[in-house]
Amino acid sequence: MALFELRRVSKTFTQRGNPPFKALDDVSISIDAGECVAIVGESGSGKSTLARVALRLLEPDGGDILLDGESVLAMPQGVWNQRRLSVQPVFQDPSSAFNPRRTAQSSLEQAIHQCVPREPAAPRERALELLENVELRPAAEFLARYPHQLSGGQRQRLGIARALATRPRLIIADEPLSGADVSIRAQVLNLLLDLRDRDNIAVLMITHDMLVARALADRIVVMHRGRVVEAGATRDVMNSPTDPYTRRLLDAVLAVDIEP
């Protein structure tokens, strides 16, 4: 059984004056425990809509979302409020993801307090451990920092630390590298790889960048105009894409890629 699954999910936006717009059209994806799946597609292909639906920030019009084979949409809000802690988001812009008036310690402890069962360690000790996990060191020094006292890359890592606070089994990361410069991108990418390898946390990585997908993912799902146009093992999709759109995405990056 898959850890998490979107099954034939659709989402149409209706705006006054515009015809209805199908942002997600019959999308199915699944992810196993400890697996990294990349959702790739150019801007406007529906990736963020997919992330928001998967996190239940947006209700789909049709289809189902399953966690451990159980329908998330059918869960009473109270049940979901607990179960959702095992599915955590990491967003693109870490500066808007934090309350500017909270220190790192306060943000992390807020997340730690949600845990059921309760963390055995004192919240401060657990917060230190989380900062160590994302290599914000010396951790004790970072506890007292406010978001504006962190660099972009440090904020992104704090965002990951906070996502880890509830001991998730799945992280849904929507373009977590887009705002960052090249060296920070590599750090965050390596951190996400470590989480998978060390803690067996599944990662659903949403990116417009085929090379990021290749570096991180076990499987790649290609989206185009709200539909899945290709899905397969990373090696297969990279080496022998079947869909013309995937081929175009690949040609665009391979033209500037010097590695084999």
* Contact footprint for ligand ADP (CB under 6 A): 13, 15, 21, 23, 41, 43-49
Residue 239 interacts with which of Mg ion, ligand ADP, none, CB < 5 to 8 Å by class: none
Instruction: Determine the Cα–Cα distance for residues 8 and 60; give it in Å rounded to an integer.
Output: 10
Residue 13 interacts with which of ligand ADP, Mg ion, none, CB < 5 to 8 Å by class: ligand ADP
Nearer to ligand ADP by C-beta: 11 or 219? 11
> Which two three-digit tokens encode residue 35?
């697996």
Nearer to ligand ADP by C-beta: 27 or 195? 27
Nearest-approach distance from CB 213 to Mg ion, in angstroms? 15
CA-closest candidate to residue 178, choices 191, 170, 188, 168:
188
Instruction: Determine the Cα–Cα distance for residues 179 and 45; give it in Å rounded to an integer.
Output: 19
Site for Mg ion in 154-193 (CB under 5 A): none
Nearest-approach distance from CB 227 to ligand ADP, in angstroms? 12
Nearest-approach distance from CB 110 to ligand ADP, in angstroms? 27
CA-closest candidate to residue 173, choices 93, 114, 64:
93
Alpha carbon dihedral 111, 30, 134, 166, in 10-degree steps, equals 20
CA-closest candidate to residue 249, choices 222, 220, 218:
222
CA-closest candidate to residue 178, choices 150, 210, 207:
207
Residue 41 interacts with which of ligand ADP, Mg ion, none, CB < 5 to 8 Å by class: ligand ADP
Q: Does 48 bind Mg ion (CB under 5 A)?
A: yes
Nearest-approach distance from CB 142 to ligand ADP, in angstroms? 31
Nearest-approach distance from CB 119 to ligand ADP, in angstroms? 34
| Strands of the sheet with 202-207, listed across from one edge | 87-90, 170-174, 202-207, 36-40, 219-224, 227-233
Where on the chain is the footprint of Mg ion (CB under 5 A)? 47-48
